[in-house]
Structure 1
Amino acid sequence: MPDTRTSTASPTPLPERFFQRDARELAVALLGKVIRRRLGDQWLAARIIETEAYLLEERGSHASLGFTQARRALFMDPGTIYMYYARGGDSMNCSALGEGCGVLLKSAHPVVDAISPPSSLTRMQQLNPQRNGQPRQPERLCAGQTLLCRSLAIRVPEWNARRFDADWLLIEDDGYRPEQVIQAPRLGIPSGRDEHLPYRWVDAAYAPHCTRNPLGRSRLPGRDYRMLDHAQAQASASKGDVTC
């Protein structure tokens, strides 16, 4: 079921200083935050449950391939939106501290609250139906980077290299904090491009609803992932810990 946490305040964007940190620290800090996208008089909303950090100097990052106009957002001030096409769908990132560094917003979970009522969830289901045209289950609406963007109508031509906009697209803190965080290697990194780096972070409470459940039957703690409390995850990110 969708998150039904209530809110009495209007959407309040994170301050710009929030993004001024190492990409790994930012990836952990973004877990639990709410993306809100305004369409007409509706605010669509989803809680970030999975992120991946990318650094300029490691070969899994787009920035490691060099500066281009399409990738310019990664070289702009922290908090700049970087978008690209992944398997034909839109994918959303934001820049972090240090040129070429950023965080991929990998998956999220719908939020229904005082700002984004049930009608907003219905709009998200209309934007991102199943292939047969039937409504997609709420927990699957944003279970992947392209599904997330489709459900919130966030598109490359409109948002790449832009700042967040308090009137149309923002990330806010509604007070939620993950109790446990899973640290694991990123998904889809080609062999030989630092695929071993554990720069993927998942809110353990939502693990079944992210891109790929890091707690699957074939996965073992200590080999495939680490389970950390929130403070431990923050400490691991700040140290740049590269072990699972």
Structure 2
Amino acid sequence: MTNLNAPSVAALKPHGLADAFFDRDAQTLARDLLGKVIRHRVGGLWLSARIIETEAYYFEEKGSHASLGYTEKRKALFLDGGHIYMYYARGGDSLNFSALGPGNAVLIKSAYPWVDELSGPASLAQMLLNNPDGQGRPRPSQKLCAGQTLLCKALGLKVPMWDAKRFDHEVLLVEDVGAAPAHVIQTTRLGIPQGRDEHLMYRFVDAAYAPYCTRNPLRRGQVEGRDYILLN
């Protein structure tokens, strides 16, 4: 029997975070983005993923793009918090959000597919089609967004479409779905060349999803207090 009181998918609408949410210190923003859901509407489907790993960057430290100076390509980093900065990494697209202060930003490092009333099985199926493995086969869903370029590919996010733009809540947004992590891991960022502040602990991971991020900070050999900090 059809539930006449149940909302239709067409009637459901996500509620994106206000720009002011992003206009905060980069580390604070990086932590608080964990558990939030990125939604991108493509062809009538809301493709969605829960953020599980982020990295904070500041103008004054050598690991950031902004430290290389202002260019037209990097202008989003110098705009108010809540602007989108996208660039190519190893041939794929990467997603960042500007934070408080010129040159400060957060990189969305990895995520986990999110399925709910708004983003149902058809949305997940489209994400699997968007991001097959090297042999053209579907990836395991838990690894579908396990990296900054995999995330963008699964969600259909492209540099030319979104770089230096604001969020468009009819098409692309970040939503608070009440899924804040119980514990957060703070550790060093990935891919920072030696001598470019690679020691800074500006990477944040939702502890419950640590096995599914870019590199598990709880893998064998990692020592709490030395290699990472566990935050409540």
- TM-score if structure 2 supplies the norm length? 0.94
Does residue 209 (structure 1) correspond to residue 215 (structure 2)? The answer is no
Q: Distance in 2 between matches of 1:71 and 1:97?
A: 16
Q: Distance in 1 between matches of 2:134 and 2:179?
A: 33
Partner SS for 2:88? strand
Match of 2:81 among 64, 78, 82: 78
Superposition pairs of residues 37-56 of structure 1, within 5 angstroms:
37-56=40-59
Partner SS for 2:168? coil
Cross-structure match for 1:195:
198
Q: Distance in 1 between matches of 2:72 and 2:148?
A: 22
Give the residue type in structure 2 aligned to 1:165.
Answer: D
Q: Which runs of 5+ in 2 are unaligned?
A: 1-8
Q: Return the offset for 1:9.
A: 5.1
Identical amino acids, percent of aligned pairs: 62
Q: Distance in 1 between matches of 2:154 and 2:46?
A: 12
Does residue 167 (structure 1) correspond to residue 151 (structure 2)? The answer is no
Alignment deviations for residues 101-125 of structure 1 (CA, whole Å, 9 cap, x no partner): 0000000000010000011000000
Q: Distance in 1 between matches of 2:26 and 2:230?
A: 20
Alignment RMSD? 1.1
Give the residue type in structure 1 aligned to 2:107.
Answer: L
Give the residue type in structure 2 aligned to 1:105.
Answer: I
Match of 1:66 among 69, 77, 85: 69
Match of 1:14 among 17, 25, 50: 17
Match of 1:94 among 92, 97, 104: 97
Give the residue type in structure 2 aligned to 1:112.
Answer: V
- How many residues are treated as equivalent by the alignment? 223
Q: Distance in 2 between matches of 1:84 and 1:66?
A: 15
Match of 1:32 among 28, 35, 44: 35
Partner SS for 1:27? helix
Partner SS for 2:61? coil
Q: Return the offset for 1:49.
A: 0.2
Q: Which runs of 5+ in 1 are unaligned?
A: 1-6, 230-244
Partner SS for 2:185? strand
Moved segments of 4+, more than 6 Å: none
Match of 1:124 among 124, 127, 142: 127
